[in-house]
Amino acid sequence: MKFPLLLGAILLALSIALGIAPVDRSDWALENALALLAVAVLVVSHRRFRLSNVSYALVFAMLVLHTVGAHYTYSKVPYDAWWRAVFGASLDAALGFERNHYDRLVHFAYGFLIAYPMRELFVRVADVKGFWGYFLPLDMVASTSMLYELVEWGAAEFFGGELGIAYLGSQGDVWDAQKDMALASLGAVLSLTLAAIVHRALDRDFQRQWAESLRVKRKRPLGEEEIARLSK
């Protein structure tokens, strides 16, 4: 109980500090709308569905990255200046970057950090096992990433102007949405692969559960045959 409260207090303090003078107040408010909704869901559901401390820590890390991005407006996060201050050289120059890639980092982090909490949700609520305990969280990350890109597009069309451009954050890349979704999916694949390796090492029934999850449980087809059965 204390651990989620501690993370919440740290996140609140950080949000207040970075919310005092953001680079673009309108974009900051728009960027934080979905994050505020996510936090509200976690708070409301905490009593009936408490996540593991691991999941709360992963969600916290994701929200910290987002809070920093919202403060600066994602495309203006000065990560390269921070890197130069510490290491004395440009990270962008070393990697050949021609745009600000902080948004790409956060999309990757979304998949990497949120896939495990989603797995916990599927395992505990839907009681999925084996293959489906890894595929469904991956599918959820990919689909929610796609839905977010649609939200970005809709918001950019609705608000228009500089605010719409700032929120969309494509920085002139026509494949921005596709790359963001790909990075989120890649992050989820890596996260769930690590989870599977740990699970396999600790659970002697791992292979049996995996095989059982792919076995056909109902031989009868659905569709028209199921409709006919239910209509009797």
Tens of pLDDT along 29-50? 988 998 999 999 999 998 899 9
Residue-level pLDDT at 1: 65
pLDDT of residue 225 exceeding 90: no
Distance of CA 124 to the CA centre of its chain: 19
| Average pLDDT for 209-222 | 88
Residues 51 and 4: their CA atoms lie apart, in Å, by 9
Tens of pLDDT along 93-132? 998 888 889 999 999 999 999 999 999 999 999 999 999 9
Residues 3 and 56: their CA atoms lie apart, in Å, by 8
Q: For a pLDDT cut of 90, what percent of the chain falls above it?
A: 67
